[in-house]
Amino acid sequence: MILREADFRIDFLEGHAFPGFTLGETWNGFAKPYFTFTQAQALATAWSSTGTKAFYDDQQDAFVFEMWLSSVLNTFQYQRNSYS
């Protein structure tokens, strides 16, 4: 499978489009994006601007995104892929 460039949007982050990559996969009806580390940092910064936590956890080697009205943290793993 070949990764293709694509833009991704999150409903509550209106006005933002996040560049990333796709294999054309979906999860629960939504696109399943892949991001470089730098792209994921930009997404975490935008997410944090809403008052919810988003950060890179070097112990887990993963980005952690807090979901509002929940004490459960949803973790998205940073993919170490070569996009060549």
Task: Look at residue 27 in the predicted model and tell me its pLDDT.
Answer: 87
The residue with greater pLDDT, 74 or 26, is: 26
SS3 of residue 34 by DSSP: strand
Residue with tokens 């070569």: 82
- Give the CA angle between residues 74, 48, 58 to the nearest 5°: 60
11-69 pLDDT, tens digit per residue, is 888 888 999 999 999 988 888 999 999 999 999 999 999 888 899 988 888 888 887 65
Dmax over CA atoms of the chain, in Å, equals 39
pTM (two decimals):
0.75
Q: Are strands 18-22 and 4-8 parallel, antiparallel or unpaired?
A: antiparallel
Task: Look at residue 66 in the predicted model and tell me its pLDDT.
Answer: 81
